[in-house]
Structure 1
């Protein structure tokens, strides 16, 4: 029974990790599409962290703006909030506001 429970727990943790990676991917690709540096925005939100290894890994999977489909602002904000990244969502909101002011 313990082995079965451990297997289920491991599966849940792995599923969450994959979902979290997808959230990071949405954020990173949105940044690329908007001409922003994902690492810079991340550091603004979380200056106490030296580097985010998972962000580094996901950045290797991003594509150019021309290759990517559009990612609506609401989508990236929703995904960040869903995973409790309120600080990063705030920084993204500020970037959206700056973009709106330029237009």
Structure 2
């Protein structure tokens, strides 16, 4: 494998790791706010109801008592960074409900 291919492979792997982290942050934010991450994800992406990364994040997420706080700006920023606009819209709606 030449160096250009190696760099591309490493960049792809980093993107995938970061994307998994974004999903974990979303899942943990949901748990911290007593929301169902699968329901919200399915609302945003009904065609991806059985998402492998989401299932994996659910396995490693902790209870809200064990987790540190995750600000809404963090979860929305991470969703925006990965162009998850539909999920960000659903999260924004839930944030509005939580503030009522």
* Structure 1: 4+ residue segments shifted above 2 A: none
Rg bigger for which structure?
A: 1
Structure 2 length normalisation: TM-score?
Answer: 0.95
1:81 pairs with 2:77: no
**Partners of 2:21 and 2:49 in 1: how far apart?**
22
Following superposition, the deviation at residue 23 of structure 1 comes to 0.4
Any conservation in 1 of the 2:25–2:75 contact (CA below 8 Å)?
Answer: yes
Tell which deviates more after alignment, 29-38 or 45-54: 45-54
**SS state of the match for residue 48, structure 1?**
helix
Matched, 1:48 2:73: no
Q: Structure 2: how far apart are the matches of 1:30 and 1:90?
A: 15
Alpha-carbon distance in 1 for matches of 2:87, 2:40: 7
The Cα of 1:56 is off from its aligned counterpart by: 0.3
Gapped runs of 5+ residues in structure 2? none
Cα RMSD (Å): 1.0
- Partner of residue 20, structure 2: 21
**Number of the residue aligned with 2:94:** 95
Gaps of 5+ in 1: none
Counting matched residue pairs gives 100
